[in-house]
Amino acid sequence: MAGELVKSEAICLGIRPWSQTSHVVSWLTPSGKVSTLVKGAVRPKSFFLGQYDLNYTCEIVYYARARSDLHALRECAVLDSRDRLRTDYRALALSGYMRHVAGELAPIGPEAEAWYGLLESSLDSIGEVDPVAGMLEFDISALNLAGVSPDFTGCKSPSSRFYLEEGSFEGQSSRQMPIVPRVAACLLRPRQEKNLKILLDAARVIGVYYNFHLDFSPDVRRSVLKMMVKEKGEMQ
* pLDDT at residue 231 is higher than 80: no
User: pTM value?
Assistant: 0.91
* pLDDT at residue 66 is higher than 80: no
Task: Report domain extents, the chain.
Answer: 4-83, 129-235
pLDDT confidence bin for 2, thresholds 50/70/90 = low
pLDDT at residue 230, as a whole number: 67
pLDDT at residue 195, as a whole number: 95
Q: Which three-class secondary structure string do you get for 7-55?
A: EEEEEEEEEEECCCCCEEEEEEECCEEEEEEECCCCCCCCCCCCCCCCC
What number is the average pLDDT over the span 201-228? 90
Q: Is 3.40.1160.10 the CATH number for 4-83?
A: no
Report the interhelical angle of 131-145 vs 181-188 (nearest 10°). Answer: 70
- Name residue 10's beta-bridge partners: 58
pLDDT tens digits along 70-96: 999 999 999 999 999 999 989 999 999
pLDDT tens digits along 174-190: 899 999 999 999 999 99
d(CA 14, CA 37): 12
* pLDDT at residue 63 is higher than 80: yes
pLDDT at residue 26, as a whole number: 98
What number is the average pLDDT over the span 45-56? 93
